[in-house]
Structure 1
Amino acid sequence: MSSTTVEKPSFLRSKVGGLPRPFWALWGGTLVNRLGTMVMPFTGVYLTQSRGLSVTAAGLVMGVFGAGSLLSQPLAGVLADRIGRRATLSGGMLATAAAMLALGYSTSLPAILASMFALGVVMDLYRPASNALVADLVSPAERPRAYGLLFWGINLGFSVGMTAGGWLAGLGFLWLFWIDALSCVVFAVLVWRAVPETRPEETMESPGGFGMVLRDRVMVAFTLVTLGHALVYAQTFTMLPVAMTEVAGLTPAQYGLAMALNGVLIVIVQPLVSGWLGRRDASRTFALGVAVMGIGFTMTAFVTSTLGLAVTIAVWTAGEIVTAGIAGSILATLAPAHLRGRYAGLFGFAWSAAIALAPLLGGPLLEIGATALWFTVGGVAVVSAAGMLALAPAIRRR
């Protein structure tokens, strides 16, 4: 009698450390891409020093980039569900490489504005596709670890890329654009060759569309929680450097020394605890991490020294490590397989909105005083954590 057992695809059977080989290809491509991420951290310096723009004009350019990024995530979510995860990710990376080079060779303000808007649209197209790929490839039990490993790889690559970028910028900014573009091409090729398409086919029983995502009350509520979490985290690269140098009186060198602790702790600690955290209740773990981040940022109101800043960084970094990988796992739980791209697009939109809103809200608060800013940030974290706990039963039922 012939066996009726259906053999699983080889990419699901072939695993390394409990995770499928295609996941490691995605992880490797992400690491290479983050190693080459050198342009964005130095964009303000490039615009003012290399292209001679005023601070106001540079702010306009960055605002245009933000407008493009707001469109990016919903668009990427639709593409990931319609044309596939692999095509969206690889195509987005190739488009990013082209936009990077266009920006590097743009000299007039109109050309720079057009290039920055295009870069804003395409640079993060890969995120919803990557998020959906992990959910497609990895079992629910292993998803927190998988998303945590991606988070770790991003931070490891970015730390090295920042250091190398600062050195290369001294040789000429064009080097940064070419290396960034090359890393995007490597990521695109690696995913195209080593990662299978995982998009499930839509059927009459599984219609799709953003309308379905927006009608999912649990997902909309989780998106609002994510917006609060992202507003808290965005302070690390928006208002924190301003507050520490302009209000607390630290030098840029002192601030940079203290901030290096964030990357060191993530690289060392996060891989050691991701497996253990992944076995805890996701909603409660996420709420805990956001609350700890809030405590760390509230403590920042009292910082007057490099050591004091380092202590607060250690606290909110602990919260960042706790949340790493958990949000992606919750998102994968909420999203039907054929809508994972769109769900990830709405999730990503919350992050884009937070990055745009953080300086707009934080600036006026800092004008009032450091206490007003950091206690408000702490309050947002508490509200977000409470919202996550309120959502926990509904998420567990999924």
Structure 2
Amino acid sequence: MNSTTVEKPSFLRSQLGGLPRPFWALWGGTLVNRLGTMVMPFTGVYLTQARGLSLAAAGMVMAVFGAGSLVSQLLAGVLADRIGRRATLAGGMLATAAMMLALGYSTTLPAILASMFVLGLVVDAYRPASNALVADLVSPVERPRAYGLLFWAINLGYSVGMTAGGWLAQLGFHWLFWVDAVGCVAFAVLVWRAIPETRPAERESSGGFGMVLRDRLMVAFTLVTLGNALVYAQTYTTLPMAMTELTGLTTGQFGLAMALNGVLIVIVQPLVSGWLGRLDPARTLALGLAVMGVGFALTSFVTTTFWLAVTIVVWTAGEIVTAGIAGAIVARLAPAHLRGRYSGLFGFAWSAAAVLAPLLGSWLLEAGGQAALWFTVGGIGLVSAVAMLALGPAIRRR
């Protein structure tokens, strides 16, 4: 008696299959680049310890970097549409490598300021081009999974890079700059050799950011993204300060609790990205934003390392839900010839939040303590979630 058996797809095939080879080259390059990302987390320590700058001078240097990053996303978005995704991505990586070494060997304050401003311009210039590449290469139904896998590679590489960076910094800060520069060059070479150019024809790529800003739905979504970014940016701005200075946790206790964030993302996010990608993106993103908001609001009640860990688990769950969804929405909203610019505006919201979040957080801490800070941050998350639900019908029609 003949019988036929239907082979069920394996877990790895369902999670990793169906994506084109150039995407995996981009994924591998992103992972290598993030493995070498060691300079930025230790920049403040480098400026004060290795270069002897005061806290005020170091703050000025970081502000200059923030100013460069604000311009970066808009400029890189235009370049991705005009000169191409591959050229913008590879060029940005090579420029980042050069500026890493320039910063590492700068000894005077003017030279450090100039290096940091240009580094702010180029260090994340790859993001609009990378987002546009995924939209060009991957079918709409697979985009949430693809963007989620890139998010996973960034977090995995960053976690390992942070650990290695702390060890290398003890040997000498120059090691951080060289490793980061080599990682950037490796990413550029991989992109140039393994990823085709996907930019639409030049005649289709005309127009400026005015065309993006006239898309009211994209502008509204960018404001939602800004709310999301303001919430998330507290994790590396005011959260460490609040937990160590006001709650009384040691840096070791705080670091141990925060390690949960990376561990959960690395383990859980690949398991759920395919399933989340099949859900309605607007409702899914709204759910993730709401969970993040609740998690940060609960931080008001933290008194011990255990309860900090509980709140981190909550808002990390929201972060995992949102991973990949926002990029897929941008790709859905953008015409093919403007994907770089749309991604640039999306990235601008994150750069703006990196500048605004510490200002907002420190002011709220001084004005009303932790309750004022975390309930406000949680409220921003919930308002962003409601706004996302309101945009849902228009996104589905688009």
Displacement of 1:315 after TM fit?
Answer: 0.1
The two structures have a TM-score, normalised by structure 1, of: 0.95
Q: Could you tell me how far apart the structure 1 residues matched to 2:291 and 2:63 are?
A: 31
SS at match of 1:203: helix
Aligned partners of 2:151 and 2:324 also within 8 Å: yes
CA contact (8 A) 1:106 1:112 kept: yes
Deviations 1:118-142 (A, max 9, x none): 1000001000000000000000000
Q: Distance in 2 between matches of 1:107 and 1:260?
A: 34
Whole-Å separation in 1 of the counterparts to 2:206 and 2:112: 40
Matched, 1:315 2:304: no
Contact 2:96 2:181 in 1 (8 A): yes
CA drift of 1:209 comes to 1.6
In the alignment, which residue of structure 1 is the partner of 2:95? Answer: 95
Alpha-carbon distance in structure 2 between the residues aligned to 1:96 and 1:372: 38
Corresponding residue of 1:344: 343
Question: What's the CA shift for 1:208?
Answer: 2.6
CA distance in 2, matches of 1:299, 1:45: 30
After TM superposition, give the deviation of residue 207 of structure 1 in Å. Answer: 4.4
- Say if 2:82 and 2:202, in contact at 8 Å, map to a contact too: no
- Tell me whether 195-204 or 235-244 shows the greater mean CA deviation: 195-204
Correspondences of 1:233-244 after superposition (within 5 Å): 233-244=232-243
Q: Cα offset for 1:62?
A: 0.2
2:245 matched to which residue of 1? 246
Structure 1 contact 202–208 (Cα < 8 Å) conserved: no
Looking at structure 1, the residues matched to 172 and 353 of structure 2 have their Cα atoms a distance apart, in angstroms, of 32
- 1:277 aligned residue: 276
Amino acid in the other structure paired with 1:72: S
1:55 aligns with 2:55: yes
Which residue pairs with 1:289 in the alignment? 288
Matches within 5 A, 1:136-147: 136-147=136-147
Q: Deviations over 1:63-115 (max 9, x none)?
A: 00000000000000000000000000000000000000000000000000000
What is residue 328 of structure 1 aligned with on the other side? Answer: 327
TM-superposed deviation, 1:201: 1.1
CA distance in 1, matches of 2:344, 2:202: 18
Aligned ranges 1:1-398 → 2 under 5 Å: 17-203=17-203, 207-367=206-366, 368-398=368-398
Letter in 1 for 2:158: F
Distance 2:271 2:82 in 1: 37
Aligned length: 383
Q: Distance in 2 between matches of 1:25 and 1:333?
A: 23
Seen in structure 2, the aligned counterparts of structure 1 residues 395 and 202 have a Cα distance that, compared at 3 Å, is: farther
Gaps of 5+ in 2: 1-15
Q: Find the residue that maps to 1:99 and give its secondary structure.
A: helix
Query: Is the partner of 1:341 in helix, strand or coil?
Result: helix
- Aligned residue for 1:369, secondary structure, equals helix
Are 1:36 and 1:183, in contact at CA under 8 Å, matched by a contact in 2?
yes
Using the size of structure 2 for normalisation, the TM-score is: 0.95
* Aligned match of 2:5: none
- Helix, strand or coil for the counterpart of 2:203? coil
For each residue in 1:160-214, what CA deviation from the matched residue of structure 2 results, as whole angstroms up to 9, or x when unmatched? 000000000000000000000000000000000000000011436x743211100
| AA of the residue aligned to 2:106 | S
Distance 1:101 1:245 in 2: 33
Q: Which amino acid aligns with 2:373?
A: L
Q: Secondary structure at the match of 1:269?
A: helix
* Structure 1 SS opposite 2:316: helix
Q: Which amino acid aligns with 1:123?
A: V
Aligned-partner Cα distance in 2 for 1:143–1:150: 11
**Runs of at least 5 residues in structure 1 that lack an aligned partner in the other structure:** 1-15
Tell me which residue corresponds to 1:7.
Answer: none
Could you say what the CA RMSD is over the residues aligned between the two structures, in angstroms? 1.0
Alpha-carbon distance in 1 for matches of 2:365, 2:272: 35
| 1:266 maps to amino acid | I
Aligned identity (percent) is: 82
- Separation in 2 of the partners of 1:19 and 1:326? 17
What is the identity, as a one-letter code, of the residue corresponding to 1:264? V
Instruction: Give 3-state SS (helix, strand or coil) of 1:19's partner.
Output: coil
Q: Which amino acid aligns with 1:231?
A: L
Following the alignment from structure 2 to structure 1, what is the Cα–Cα distance between the partners of residues 99 and 383?
38
Amino acid at match of 2:326: A
Alignment check: 8 A CA contact 1:66 1:352 kept: yes
CA distance, structure 1, for counterparts of residue 202 and residue 215 of structure 2: 18
* Structure 1 contact 72–124 (Cα < 8 Å) conserved: yes
Structure 2 CA distance, aligned partners of 1:200 and 1:29? 23
- 8 Å CA contact retained: 1:208, 1:338: no
- Paired with 2:363 and 2:40, the residues of 1 have a C-alpha distance of 25
